[in-house]
Amino acid sequence: MIDPLQTVLIVAALVLALVTGGYVALDRSPDRVLIALIGLLEIGLVVQAVVGIAQLVGGSGDPGITFVGYLLAALVVLPLGLLWSLGERSRGATAVLIVALLTVAFLVVRLEQIHAAA
Amino acid sequence: MPRPDPAVASRRSTSTGLGRALVATYAVFALAATARSAVQLLTKASDAPLAYALSAVAAVVYVLATLGLAEVGPRPRTMAWAAVGFELVGVLTVGTLTVLDPELFPDATVWSAYGQGYGYLPLVLPFLGIAWLLRTRPRD
């Protein structure tokens, strides 16, 4: 797998979770800047999924169904989290984004572990 | 009957405010447990039937808790209470059994060793769920 990209994704997700924590502390709703940054992270996750599946099809290693599952799960978490978060204006609703971002960071870490084990 | 005050009504909702973040957390576990259980049952069901059946049960419990707290379905509060209660009993029972006898479940489940593999969140989550259901409970 492409380790530098995954490191960037993990760091970006954690930093964004921290930033979102600031929004929650200040009781601010997500603005365009925050949503755009999360969009950028999502693009990175799409790249990861494309490269990951391409490598799988190319036949370098066989991490299998779990690997693909994690790749695809990492893709849906942010869009679903954004939808659920933007449905309401409250601290709790903004905190949904923290849950989503930490989940993404966890998924990418697990992806690396699965890939290293394979 | 007095007209319901919207502010009071939302305070009694389990899916607004902090509840939204709680529903999101339960949704993550519902997704994780369902995916894990599906992979286990599809690829190696006969290896550790008890552990895998338990994984499937945990997945159903998390899905029902998520739906209940998100106020989906006819009696969401009852469903949420049942699911979160089952979750608490499940994580305490399975956690204790796996700590006492690690051989009992040869492959890990969400609740093994009190959810150690998931940063002990599976142990904390039912307490948060119960606290939230108590705080939002309907009063007259």
Percent of chain A at pLDDT > 90 equals: 71
* Digit-coded pLDDT (tens) for B77-88: 999 999 999 999
- Other CB atoms within 10 A of residue A21 CB: 15
State the pTM of this model: 0.89
**Residue carrying structure tokens 């502010």:** B7
Residues in chain A within 8 Å Cβ distance of B23:
84
Q: What is the pLDDT of residue B50?
A: 81
ipTM: 0.88
Q: What is the pLDDT of residue B49?
A: 80
Q: What is the pLDDT of residue B1?
A: 47
Residue-range definition of the domain harbouring residue A64: 3-117
* Digit-coded pLDDT (tens) for A82-114: 999 999 999 999 999 999 999 999 999 988 888
Q: How many domains does chain A have?
A: 1
* Digit-coded pLDDT (tens) for A6-29: 999 999 999 999 999 999 999 999
Quick check: B53 pLDDT over 90? Answer: no
B13 touches chain A (CB under 8 A): no
C-alpha–C-alpha distance, residues A36 and A32, integer Å: 6
Residues in chain B within 8 Å Cβ distance of A100:
24
Quick check: B3 pLDDT over 70? Answer: no
CB contact set of B45 (below 8 Å; sequence gap of 6+): B52
Percent of chain A at pLDDT > 70 equals: 92
Report domain extents, chain B: 10-135
Nearest CB among A73, A88, A103 relative to B16 is that of: A88
Q: Of residues B73 and B126, which shows the higher confidence score?
A: B126
- B31-55 burial by CB neighbour count: b if 16+ within 10 A, else e? bbbbbbbebbeeeeeeebeebbebb
